[in-house]
C-alpha cells in the first residue's frame, strides 16, 4: 500500500503544475518575455510604418523644401529595427518554448511512469493496455501543450494589451478606450465562450480517440486470432465508425474555433471603424496630425494580432484540463498498490504462508482459504493441483502484487509486503506461463535477463534448457533474431529460451510455471534432470500438471480447496 503522505503527481488532487514545471520556470518566463517582444515588434513595425508612409506622402505633397526637410532615415531605421526584432524574438521564442515543452513532456512522462509502476498489476487490473498507452502518450502531450499553447498566448495577450493601450493613450484617449473594449472582448469574452462551447465536444473527442487507440491496440495484438475467428472485418468497421464520429466532432470544434476568430475579426474591424471616425474628428480639431491617423489604424490592426490565437488556446486549455483529469485518474493510488518500502530479507530464504486467505479484487471467489505453507531454501518442489486452483496465484502473492484478505507471508524472515519488488526479483526468478520475449537476438534476450552474464554462463543456460544444439545449428547462432514475441521460434523453443533467461540470473530461488508444457517426453526429462543437477542449492518450484516430473522432485505439494496438502 502506498502511504498517504506520499502524494503522487497530478493536478487537482495529486499534482501541482507549478511544482512539476519548476525545472522549466526560466523557459516559461523567457518564453513569455520573447513572445511579448515579438508582438511588440510587430506592433511597432505596423505602427511606425503607418506613420512613415503617411508622413512621406504629406512631405511629398508639401513641395521640395518640405520633402528635403523630412528626415526619412530615422523612422525607416525604426521600421527595420522592429522588423528584425520581430523575426529574432519569434525565432528565439519558438526555440525556447519548444525546448521547455519537450522537457515538460519528459518530466510528466517520467512522473506518470513512477506512479504507474507501484500500481501494477493489481491497481491496473481494470485498465486496458491501449488506454494506458493513450494516456501516457496523448494526454501527456496535451497537458504539456498547456505551457506553449495556453500560458504563452494568454500571458502575451494580457501583457501586450496593457502596453498597446498605454501607447494609444499618448495619442488619443478615445482610440485607447475603443482598443481597450475591443481587446477585452477578444481576450476574455470570446475565449471564455469558445472554452465552454468546445468543452463537451473536446471531452467526446478525447473519449473517441481513446476508444480508437484502445481498440486498435487490441486488434493489432490479437490480429491472428481475430482473422481465424473471422471477426477482424467487424472490428475494423467499428473502428471506422468511431473514426467517422470523431472526425465529425473535430469538425464542430474547428467550426467553433473559426467562429471565434471570425467574431474577433469583426470586432477588430468595428474598432478600426470607430477609431477612424473619431480620429478624423480629432484631426479636424487639431488634436491629431494627418500621419497619426494611419498610424493608429495600423496599430489597432497589429494590436489585435495577439488575440487571434486565443480561441485555439481556449480549446487547448480545455484539452489540457480534461487530459490532466485522465492522468490523475490513471495514477490515483488504489487499495491494491504493491508496496514500495524496502526492508532487506536475509538468508536463509525460507517462505512461510501463515493462514493466508485471498481473492482477486474483481473476483469474490476465494483462491486461498486460510492456507499455510513452509518452503525451506534449497528444496526442489513440484506444486500440483487442478487447473484454476490457484497455483500461479502464489507467485502474485509472493510478490505482493495483490493484497491478502487475511494472514501473512514472510520471506527470508520479513513480511513480503515490506520487501520491495526489486529486492524480491533479485532473489527470485520467475518463468511464467505467459512469458515475454523481446524482438532482438537470442543473445540480447539472454543479456536482458542478466547483463553481466559471461559467454560460459550463456552456454550453460542454453545447455540446461536444451537449446544449445538448436542455437549452435543456426547460421547466426546467438545472434539470430527471433522476431516480435519470439515469433521465429517454435512454442517449445520460445518457452525454453524463457527458462534460459530465468537460469542465467542465478538467483537463490527459481519458480517455473509449466516449464515443460509442449515439450516431448525426452526433452522434458533431459531439461529437468539437467536443471536439478546444475542447481542443487537453488530453491526450485515447478508448477506443473506433468506426472513425469514428479519423481524427480524432492517434495510434492498439492493444492486443494484453497489450501496446500
Ligand X SMILES: Nc1ncnc2c1ncn2[C@@H]1O[C@H](COP(=O)(O)OP(=O)(O)OP(=O)(O)O)[C@@H](O)[C@H]1O
Binding site for ligand X (CB under 6 A): 360, 362-363, 367, 385, 387-393
Nearer to ligand X, 285 or 362 (CB): 362
Taking the complex as a whole, the smallest distance from the CB of residue 433 to ligand X amounts, in Å, to 6
| CB of 207 or CB of 432, closer to ligand X | 432
Going by C-alpha positions, the residue among 266, 297, 46, 308 that lies closest to residue 157 is 308
The whole-angstrom separation of Cα 301 and Cα 297 is: 6
Q: Closest Cα partner for 172 from 287, 280, 87?
A: 287
Q: Quick one: cell of 456?
A: 560460459
How is the chain split among helix, strand and coil, in percent rounded to 5?
65, 10, 25
Looking at beta carbons only, is 319 or 391 nearer to ligand X?
Answer: 391
Give 203-256 as a DSSP string: HHHHHHHHHHHHHHHHHHHTHHHHHHHT-HHHHHHHHHHHHHHHHHHHHHHHHH
CB of 399: closest distance to ligand X in angstroms?
13
Rounded least distance, CB 388 to ligand X, Å: 4
What residue has cell string 494472514? 407
In the complex, what is the shortest distance from the CB of residue 361 to ligand X, in angstroms, rounded to a whole number? Answer: 7
* Shorter beta-carbon distance to ligand X: residue 201 or 359: 359
DSSP assignment letter at 401: -
Comparison of 391 and 535: residue with beta carbon closer to ligand X: 391
Q: Are 466 and 515 in contact (CB under 8 A)?
A: no
Q: Residue 111 Cβ, how far from ligand X at the closest point, in Å?
A: 27
The answer to whether the CB of 510 falls within 8 A of the CB of 540 is yes
Query: Left if phi > 0, otherwise alpha if psi is -120 to 50, otherwise beta: which for 518?
Result: left
Cell of 509: 530461488
> Shortest gap between Cβ of 485 and ligand X (angstroms)?
20
Nearer to ligand X, 126 or 472 (CB): 126
Q: Which is nearer to ligand X, 22 or 433 (CB)?
A: 433
- 350 versus 514: smaller Cβ distance to ligand X: 514
Bridge partner residues of 559 (DSSP): 564
* Residue 233 or 386 with smaller CB distance to ligand X: 386
Q: How far is the CB of 199 from ligand X (least distance, A)?
A: 36
Closest distance between ligand X and the C-beta of residue 387, in Å?
Answer: 3
CB of 555 to ligand X, least distance (A): 18
How far is it, in rounded angstroms, from Cα 548 to Cα 559? 18
Q: What is the DSSP string of 478-541?
A: GG-B--GGGTTS-HHHHHHHHHHHHHHT--SEEEEESTTTT--HHHHHHHHHHHHHH-SSSEEE
Choose among 353, 348, 346, 347: nearest CA to 557.
Answer: 353
The sheet carrying 509-513 orders its strands as 428-431, 509-513, 539-543, 380-384, 555-560, 563-564
CA distance 264 to 258: 10
Residue 143 and residue 183: Cα distance in Å, rounded?
27
CB-wise, 129 or 388, nearer to ligand X? 388
CB of 382 to ligand X, least distance (A): 13
Least CB distance to ligand X at residue 359 (A): 8
Query: To the nearest whole angstrom, how small is the minimum distance from the Cβ of residue 384 to ligand X?
Result: 9
Whole-angstrom CA distances from 228 to 222, 223, 409 are 10, 9, 44
Which residues, other chains included, contact 20 with Cβ-Cβ below 8 Å and sequence gap of 6+?
9, 104, 107, 108, 111
Q: Smallest distance from the beta carbon of 324 to ligand X, in angstroms?
A: 29
Q: Which is nearer to ligand X, 41 or 390 (CB)?
A: 390
Nearer to ligand X, 118 or 390 (CB): 390
- What the block records as the C-alpha cell of 57 is 506622402
Of 121 and 521, nearer to ligand X (C-beta) is 121
Measure the CA–CA gap between 383 and 355, rounded to whole angstroms: 18
Amino acid at each position: 500500500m502506498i502511504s498517504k503522505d506520499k502524494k503522487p503527481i497530478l493536478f487537482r488532487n495529486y499534482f501541482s503544475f507549478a511544482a512539476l514545471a519548476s525545472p522549466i520556470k526560466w523557459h516559461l518566463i523567457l518564453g513569455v518575455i520573447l513572445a511579448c517582444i515579438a508582438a511588440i515588434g510587430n506592433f511597432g513595425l505596423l505602427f511606425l510604418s503607418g506613420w512613415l508612409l503617411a508622413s512621406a506622402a504629406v512631405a511629398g505633397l508639401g513641395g521640395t523644401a518640405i520633402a528635403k526637410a523630412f528626415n526619412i532615415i530615422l523612422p525607416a531605421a525604426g521600421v527595420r529595427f522592429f522588423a528584425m526584432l520581430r523575426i529574432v524574438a519569434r525565432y528565439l521564442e519558438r526555440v525556447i518554448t519548444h525546448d521547455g515543452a519537450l522537457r515538460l513532456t519528459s518530466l510528466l512522462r517520467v512522473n506518470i511512469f513512477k506512479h504507474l509502476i507501484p500500481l501494477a498489476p493489481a491497481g491496473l487490473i481494470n485498465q486496458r493496455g491501449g488506454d494506458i498507452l493513450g494516456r501516457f502518450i496523448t494526454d501527456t502531450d496535451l497537458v504539456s501543450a498547456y505551457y506553449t499553447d495556453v500560458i504563452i498566448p494568454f500571458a502575451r495577450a494580457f501583457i501586450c494589451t496593457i502596453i498597446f493601450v498605454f501607447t494609444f493613450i499618448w495619442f488619443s484617449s478615445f482610440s485607447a478606450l475603443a482598443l481597450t473594449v475591443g481587446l477585452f472582448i477578444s481576450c476574455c469574452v470570446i475565449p471564455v465562450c469558445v472554452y465552454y462551447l468546445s468543452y463537451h465536444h473536446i471531452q467526446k473527442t478525447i473519449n473517441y480517440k481513446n476508444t480508437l487507440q484502445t481498440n486498435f491496440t487490441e486488434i493489432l495484438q490479437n490480429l491472428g486470432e481475430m482473422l481465424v475467428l473471422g471477426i477482424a472485418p467487424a472490428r475494423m468497421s467499428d473502428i471506422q465508425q468511431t473514426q467517422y464520429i470523431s472526425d465529425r466532432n473535430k469538425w464542430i470544434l474547428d467550426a467553433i474555433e473559426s467562429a471565434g476568430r471570425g467574431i474577433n475579426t469583426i470586432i477588430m474591424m468595428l474598432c478600426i471603424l470607430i477609431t477612424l471616425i473619431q480620429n478624423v474628428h480629432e484631426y479636424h480639431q487639431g488634436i491629431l496630425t494627418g500621419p497619426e491617423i494611419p498610424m493608429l489604424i495600423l496599430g489597432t490592426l497589429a494590436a489585435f494580432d495577439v488575440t487571434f490565437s486565443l480561441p485555439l488556446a481556449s480549446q487547448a486549455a480545455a484539452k489540457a484540463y480534461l487530459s490532466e483529469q485522465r492522468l490523475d485518474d490513471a495514477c490515483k493510488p488504489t487499495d491494491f498498490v504493491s508496496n514500495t518500502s524496502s526492508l532487506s530479507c536475509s538468508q536463509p530464504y525460507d517462505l512461510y504462508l501463515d493462514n493466508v486467505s485471498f481473492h482477486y479484487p474483481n473476483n469474490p471467489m476465494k483462491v486461498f482459504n486460510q492456507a499455510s505453507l513452509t518452503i525451506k531454501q534449497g528444496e526442489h518442489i513440484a506444486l500440483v493441483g487442478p487447473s484454476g486452483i490457484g497455483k500461479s496465484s502464489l507467485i502474485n502473492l509472493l510478490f505482493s502484487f495483490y493484497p491478502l484478505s487475511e494472514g501473512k507471508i514472510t520471506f527470508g524472515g520479513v513480511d513480503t509486503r515490506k520487501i520491495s519488488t526489486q529486492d524480491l526479483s533479485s532473489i527470485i526468478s520467475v518463468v511464467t506461463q505467459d512469458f515475454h520475449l523481446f524482438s532482438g537476438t537470442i543473445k540480447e534476450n539472454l543479456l536482458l535477463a542478466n547483463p553481466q552474464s559471461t559467454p560460459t554462463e550463456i552456454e550453460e543456460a542454453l545447455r540446461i534448457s536444451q537449446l544449445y544444439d538448436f542455437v549452435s545449428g543456426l547460421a547466426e547462432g546467438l545472434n539470430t533474431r527471433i522476431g516480435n514475441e519470439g515469433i521465429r521460434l517454435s512454442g517449445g523453443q520460445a518457452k525454453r529460451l524463457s527458462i534460459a533467461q530465468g537460469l542465467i540470473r542465478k538467483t537463490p530461488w527459481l519458480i517455473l510455471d509449466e516449464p515443460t508444457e509442449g515439450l516431448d517426453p525426452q526433452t522434458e526429462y533431459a531439461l529437468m534432470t539437467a536443471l536439478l543437477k546444475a542447481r542443487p542449492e537453488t530453491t526450485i518450484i515447478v508448477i506443473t500438471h506433468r506426472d513425469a516430473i514428479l519423481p524427480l522432485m524432492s517434495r510434492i505439494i498439492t493444492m486443494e480447496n484453497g489450501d496446500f496438502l
